[in-house]
Structure 1
């Protein structure tokens, strides 16, 4: 479920009693500091209207609300980890599939099953790696995103998928983040496959797509900006440039699917711009 902004207030505003009032009024919410403001996030437009109305009454000094707000309440229990994990079901499923995709190269030593998930149907002719374009096997344009080779590969991709993908799913819903995943995964995998015949995989193209989506959305919709930490985009773009320059090969890590990364970033920027311009929610 996508979250909705209920209120934006300056950092100087004390929202402790107001938050207490919202819980007593059965309005689930969370308060976050974003871009120098306190933002009250709720689950629906109906709750957002309740938040605005209750805050206006509290500011007006409604005696009933003031008395209610200072009454003791039972502190809501902290959300257990698995509930938080499945609060973003699409991202959770992608993480599980990525973990399975990381285990497959380790368990499938004879490469009996892994070739079914690669983009190309690979084979060797006269010592040269060749591959057939996946005609009639559309799953192959998506499944390379789940394949991971090495611990660091899956760890870093999982962390960024949880952070960036979860950010989008919590704000804009499961359908939006799933659509971004499918389009960016397919586009970046096709672009990488056109650049060379090889066994490639990973969620990195999607990660850069999510980054591009968030960055351009924040530029075009600053009032509804995602809470992307300062410097994250710069660091990720610098890393992308280092990979293109062959830095990972100098480190002995191996080659990187740079075409997938760059195309994923471009697709994310395009999708983010389209979403920001076409979304019906007011600026």
Structure 2
């Protein structure tokens, strides 16, 4: 549970608590020597509970008030396009490069955007080492694999989460905050996957894992959540990660999964929290 509201000890919260229970909002009220604290289980409930409390304090009766049930809530609404230029750029670049490489069919074009230049001779894959890539000055390769996708489902799944979570992050915390996390998680996940499997990989999944992990830990570190994603989403992400490492996903026909990129992206998202908090200092934004 997360703390949402602090109120004086003498304030009778019975009417307010009854409204929350009637609305299906799981919560509890604790007391200390100085105040009472209202806690809610679902971070997505926090802003609504605060709004309801303000309404109640203004004198509005709550007998007929019922908040939208939790099981009917949807993912956060999409932000206005003018507030998410980087999110749109990420999506456009992914679509353009994925089409250029023919979703992985055009190997010669794919070699321009892969982490390392490569060539295929029969069943033999040859590619340049990391040191050669750095010394050649082709530094764009450190990030361009995130824009390569190998199927329509692959790109749609990734861009859906980039739009939902990345757009939310950019709109509320600023473009530089999103850019920093994309560059950091993209670099680290690409580098780790290259060490494990070579240059034949691509996709925004490492960045997506970073975005979801960052939004999850952010909403648990502040009293007023800014993302409001379902709490169970992080559990689903971990379950998907475990399935990937067990080989189940490949066994059911989903193809090779960049599991290392997923894991490193998730860790990057969690590690980005202090940087994200520093970048947001003084913005005073909320959702």
3-state SS of paired residue (1:207): helix
Q: 1:106 to 1:178 in 2, by over 3 A?
A: same
- Residue of structure 2 in register with 1:258 after alignment: 259
Q: Is the 8 A contact 2:177 2:279 kept in 1?
A: no
- Would the alpha carbon gap of residues 220 and 128 (structure 1) be closer, same or farther in structure 2, given more than 3 Å must change? same
Correspondence for 2:223: 222
Whole-Å separation in 2 of the counterparts to 1:180 and 1:264: 10
Residue in structure 2 matched with residue 275 of structure 1 by the alignment: 276
Q: Please give the TM-score of this superposition, normalised by the length of structure 2.
A: 0.68
1:173-214 Cα deviation digits (max 9, x unpaired):
111101111111011101111112141000000000111111
User: What TM-score results when the alignment is normalised by the length of structure 1?
Assistant: 0.69
| Secondary structure class of the residue paired with 1:220 | coil
> What secondary structure sits across from 2:125 in the alignment?
strand
| Structure 2 residue 211 is matched with structure 1 residue 210 | yes
Q: CA RMSD in A?
A: 3.4
Q: Which residue of 1 aligns with 2:32?
A: none
CA distance in 2, matches of 1:219, 1:148: 32
Runs (5+) with no aligned partner, structure 1: 1-6, 13-32, 42-54, 61-81
Q: Give 1:279 deviation, angstroms.
A: 5.0
Aligned equivalent of 1:118: 114
Greater RCO, 1 or 2 (C-alpha within 8 Å, sep 6+): 2
- 8 Å CA contact 2:103–2:150 kept in 1: the answer is no
Alignment map for 1:30-45 (pairs within 5 Å): 34-38=44-48
> In the TM superposition, what whole-angstrom CA distance separates every residue of 1:113-156 from its partner, at most 9, and x where no partner exists?
22110001112467421211222211001000000000110010
Give the Cα–Cα distance (whole angstroms) in 2 for the partners of residues 258 and 108 of structure 1.
18
For 1:131, the equivalent position in structure 2 comes to: 127
Against the structure 1 CA distance between its residues 275 and 114, is the aligned structure 2 distance closer, same or farther, given a 3 Å change threshold? same
- Give the stretch that moved more between structures: 143-152 or 108-117: 108-117
Q: Does 1:233 align with 2:229?
A: no
Structure 2: gaps spanning 5 or more residues = 7-15, 20-42, 60-77
User: Closer, same or farther in 2 for the Cα pair 1:146/1:40, shift >3 Å?
Assistant: farther
State the shift of 1:90 in Å: 0.7
Q: Distance in 2 between matches of 1:91 and 1:251?
A: 32
Q: What does 1:41-190 align with in structure 2 at a 5 Å threshold?
A: 59=58, 84-106=80-102, 109-124=105-120, 127-132=123-128, 133=130, 134-135=133-134, 136-190=137-191
